[in-house]
C-alpha cells in the first residue's frame, strides 16, 4: 500500500480542491444575488469570473480525483488477486481436497471484484460526507434555525440506513455462497462434459443447475426487494428536507429575515446534503457485499499451509536417491476425523534400485508416493531422502529430486512441448524430444500436423488416455530426478508400447531410484524387488518369483488385476 501513497495523496488533494470549489459556488452566487437585489450590483463581472473559475477548478480537479481513484482501485484489485493466488499456490493438497474449484474461482473473481468496487466508490462517498459537513458548517454561519430544519430528516435516514445494513448483510453472504455453488456446478460440468454426455445425464445436470440457480435467484430477488424498499425512502428524505427549507425559508424571506441570495445558497447547500443520502443506499449495499466477500477471501488467506519449511530448511542439490519410510502413519482428513490409510509402513529403497509397490486397492500405495514428494506430511513416523527427514528439506529442492507420474495426468491448454517442459521451461527442443522418445510418444507427436507445437486442448482431452500418460511420463523424465515414482503411470498404455517404455526406462533409470506402483505383471517385471503391502503396512518383500512362491495374497492381487484387465478388454 505504501507504493500507492503518492498517487493517493494527489487524488485526495485534487478531491479537496474540487470540494472547496463546489462548496464555494453557492457562497459566491449568494453575494452576487444580494449585490444585485440590493441595488448595489455594480459590475457583476467579478462574480461571473469567480464562478467560472470555480467551475473549471471543480471540473478539472473532480475529474482527476475520480480518474486517479479508479486507477488506484484497479491496481489494488490486481494486487489482491496476486496475493490470493500466491497464497493458493502455497496451500497444501488437503485444502484442495475439501474445497471445490468453483468456490475458489468465485472468491478469486466475484469476491475480489466486489471489494474493488468498494475501493473505487468508498472514497467518493467519503468526499460526499465531507461535503455534507462543510455545507452544514456554512449553513450554520448563515442561519442556525434554517439549518436544523434542513437536517430534520437526518434521524429518520440514520434509522433506515441501519435497518438496511442489518438486513442486507446476511443476504450478501447467501448470494456469494450460492454464486460459488453455481460456479462449481458449471466448472464441474465443463471439465466433466465427457462423463456427462457418456451417461446421457445432460437433463439431470441442467436440472441440478436450475435448482441451484433458482436458489441464487431467490436470494438475489430478495436483495432487490430490500433495495427497492429502502433506497427510495433514503433518496426521498432529502427532497422532504428541501421542501421544508423552501417553506420555512420562503416565510423568512417574505418577513425580511433572510435575503434572496441567502435562500438561494441554502437551497444549493441542501442539494449538496442530498449526495450522501443518494449514495447511502449504494454504499450500504456494496459495503455489505464487500464485507461478505472480504470475509470469504480472508478465510482463504487465514488458512495456514500444512506443508511448511522449517527456518533452517536444507537445500538439496542432487540426491543419491535413498528413500526410507520408517513406521509411517497417515490418514486423510475426513470432516473432523481422519481416515487411516498407512499404519506402520516401513520400507527402504537403495540408490539406483527399482522397487515395485504392489497391494490391493485402497492399501495406501499412492499415499506412499504423495508422502515421498511431501504433498502431505506423515502423522507419525518419518520419511527420509538420503537419510534426511523430508520435513527438514526445502520443498522446491525436494520436488526437483522426486518426480511423480500419476495414472490420471493433467495437461495444460498449451503446446505439447510446453507440457513436457513444464518442470524445465528452459529445456531445449532436443531434450524434450529425447524425453518423449523414452516415453514412446515422440512418433505420435511428430505425426501431428503441428508437431510439438500442437495445442493439447483443455486437460489434454484431444489425446487418448495412453497418450496423456506418456506425455506426463516424458514430463517426469525431463526433470532427470534422483527418484522417479510411477503411480500406475502406464495403466492406459497397451502391452506392446509398455514393453518399449520398459526397455527405455531400463536405460533411463541407470543410477536413478525408481518406485513403481502397479498391478500389471509386465510393469512389475521392471523391478529389482517387489514390496507387497496390505492394510497400510508392508507384509512381504522379495523378488516377483519369491513372492509368487511364498505369498498367496500377492498371487491373489495379481490374479484379480489380470481378471479386471481381461474384463475391460472384452468390452
Q: How many Å apart are CA 6 and CA 4, to the nearest integer? A: 6
The residue-averaged pLDDT of 261-285 equals 72
The pLDDT value given to residue 41: 53
pLDDT at 223 over 90: no
Buried b / exposed e along 140-155 (16+ C-beta atoms within 10 A): eebbeebbebbbebbe
All cell numbers assigned to 427: 529445456
The residue-averaged pLDDT of 20-49 equals 76
Domains, in order of start, for the chain: 2-301 (1.20.1560.10), 323-569 (3.40.50.300)
Helix, strand and coil percent figures for the chain, each rounded to 5? 65, 10, 20
Q: How many Å apart are CA 76 and CA 4, to the nearest integer? A: 9
pLDDT at 366 over 50: yes
Residue showing cell 522379495: 542
pLDDT band at 460 (very low <50, low <70, confident <90, very high): low
pLDDT digits (tens, 9 = 90+) for 156-180: 877 887 787 778 767 877 887 788 7
pLDDT at 544 over 80: yes
Specify the higher pLDDT residue, 547 or 410: 547
pLDDT at 114 over 60: yes
Closest C-alpha to 365, from 491, 510, 473, 459: 491
The pLDDT value given to residue 278: 60
CB 219 within 8 Å of CB 171: yes
pLDDT band at 3 (very low <50, low <70, confident <90, very high): low
Concatenating the DSSP letter of every residue in 362-415 gives TSSHHHHHHHHTTSS--SEEEEEETTEEGGGB-HHHHHHHEEEE-SS----SSB
Angle 227-230-235 from CA coordinates, rounded to 5°: 110
Buried b / exposed e along 459-471 (16+ C-beta atoms within 10 A): bbeebeebbbbbb
The residue-averaged pLDDT of 438-459 equals 85
pLDDT at 571 over 50: no
CB 346 within 8 Å of CB 325: yes
The residue-averaged pLDDT of 235-255 equals 81
Q: How many Å apart are CA 201 and CA 470, to the nearest integer? A: 31
The residue-averaged pLDDT of 79-85 equals 86
The residue-averaged pLDDT of 304-330 equals 87
Q: Which of 121-130, 298-307, 372-381 has the highest mean pLDDT?
A: 372-381
pLDDT at 383 over 90: yes
The pLDDT value given to residue 570: 40
pLDDT band at 290 (very low <50, low <70, confident <90, very high): confident
pLDDT band at 75 (very low <50, low <70, confident <90, very high): confident
Strand, coil or helix: 357: strand
Its sign, for the CA torsion 518, 520, 521, 522, is negative
Mean pLDDT of the chain: 82
The residue-averaged pLDDT of 323-338 equals 79
Specify the higher pLDDT residue, 196 or 261: 261
Amino acid at each position: 500500500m505504501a507504493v500507492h501513497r503518492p498517487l493517493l495523496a494527489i487524488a485526495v488533494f485534487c478531491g479537496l480542491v474540487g470540494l472547496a470549489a463546489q462548496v464555494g459556488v453557492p457562497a459566491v452566487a449568494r453575494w452576487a444575488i444580494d449585490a444585485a437585489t440590493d441595488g448595489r450590483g455594480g459590475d457583476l463581472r467579478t462574480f461571473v469570473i469567480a464562478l467560472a473559475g470555480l467551475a473549471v477548478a471543480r471540473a478539472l480537479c473532480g475529474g482527476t480525483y475520480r480518474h486517479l481513484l479508479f486507477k488506484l482501485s484497479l491496481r489494488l484489485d490486481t494486487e489482491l488477486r496476486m496475493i490470493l493466488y500466491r497464497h493458493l499456490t502455497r496451500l497444501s493438497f488437503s485444502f484442495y481436497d475439501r474445497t471445490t474449484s468453483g468456490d475458489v474461482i468465485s472468491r478469486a473473481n466475484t469476491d475480489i471484484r466486489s471489494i474493488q468496487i468498494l475501493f473505487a466508490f468508498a472514497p467518493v462517498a467519503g468526499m460526499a460526507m465531507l461535503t455534507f459537513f462543510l455545507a452544514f458548517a456554512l449553513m450554520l454561519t448563515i442561519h442556525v434555525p434554517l439549518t436544523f430544519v434542513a437536517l430534520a430528516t437526518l434521524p429518520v435516514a440514520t434509522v433506515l440506513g441501519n435497518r438496511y445494513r442489518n438486513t442486507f448483510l446476511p443476504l450478501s453472504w447467501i448470494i456469494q455462497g450460492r454464486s460459488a455453488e453455481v460456479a462449481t456446478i458449471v466448472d464441474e460440468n465443463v471439465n466433466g462434459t465427457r462423463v456427462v454426455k457418456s451417461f446421457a445425464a445432460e437433463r439431470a445436470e441442467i436440472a441440478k443447475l436450475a435448482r441451484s440457480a433458482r436458489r441464487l435467484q431467490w436470494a438475489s430477488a430478495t436483495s432487490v426487494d430490500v433495495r427497492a424498499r429502502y433506497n427510495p425512502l433514503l433518496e426521498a428524505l432529502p427532497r422532504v428536507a428541501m421542501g421544508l427549507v423552501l417553506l420555512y425559508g420562503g416565510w423568512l424571506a417574505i418577513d425580511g429575515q433572510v435575503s434572496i441570495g441567502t435562500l438561494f445558497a441554502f437551497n444549493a447547500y441542501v442539494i449538496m446534503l442530498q449526495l450522501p443520502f443518494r449514495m447511502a443506499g449504494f454504499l450500504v449495499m456494496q459495503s455489505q457485499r464487500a464485507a461478505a466477500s472480504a470475509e470469504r477471501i480472508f478465510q482463504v488467506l487465514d488458512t495456514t499451509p500444512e506443508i511448511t519449511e522449517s527456518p533452517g530448511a536444507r537445500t538439496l542439490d542432487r540426491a543419491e536417491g535413498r528413500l526410507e519410510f520408517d513406521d509411517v502413519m497417515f490418514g486423510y482428513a475426513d470432516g473432523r476425523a481422519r481416515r487411516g490409510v498407512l499404519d506402520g509402513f516401513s520400507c527402504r529403497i537403495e540408490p539406483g534400485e527399482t522397487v515395485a509397490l504392489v497391494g490391493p486397492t485402497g492399501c495406501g500405495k499412492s499415499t506412499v508416493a504423495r508422502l515421498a514428494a511431501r504433498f502431505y506430511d506423515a502423522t507419525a513416523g518419518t520419511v527420509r531422502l538420503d537419510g534426511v527427514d523430508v520435513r527438514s528439506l526445502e520443498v522446491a529442492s525436494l520436488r526437483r529430486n522426486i518426480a511423480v507420474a500419476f495414472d490420471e495426468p493433467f495437461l495444460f491448454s498449451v503446446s505439447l512441448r510446453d507440457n513436457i517442459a513444464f518442470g524445465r521451461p528452459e529445456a531445449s527442443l532436443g531434450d524434450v524430444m529425447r524425453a518423449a522418445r523414452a516415453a514412446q510418444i515422440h512418433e505420435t507427436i511428430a505425426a501431428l500436423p503441428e508437431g510439438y507445437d500442437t495445442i493439447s486442448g483443455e486437460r489434454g482431452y484431444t489425446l487418448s488416455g495412453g497418450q496423456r500418460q506418456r506425455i506426463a511420463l516424458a514430463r517426469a523424465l525431463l526433470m532427470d530426478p534422483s527418484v522417479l515414482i510411477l503411480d500406475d503411470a502406464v495403466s492406459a498404455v497397451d502391452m506392446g508400447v509398455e514393453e518399449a517404455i520398459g526397455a527405455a526406462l531400463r536405460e533411463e533409470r541407470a543410477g536413478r531410484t525408481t518406485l513403481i506402483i502397479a498391478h500389471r505383471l509386465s510393469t512389475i517385471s521392471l523391478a529389482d524387488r517387489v514390496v507387497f503391502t496390505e492394510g497400510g503396512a508392508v507384509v512381504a518383500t522379495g523378488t516377483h518369483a519369491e513372492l509368487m512362491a511364498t505369498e498367496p495374497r500377492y498371487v491373489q492381487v495379481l490374479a484379480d488385476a489380470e481378471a479386471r484387465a481381461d474384463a475391460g478388454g472384452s468390452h
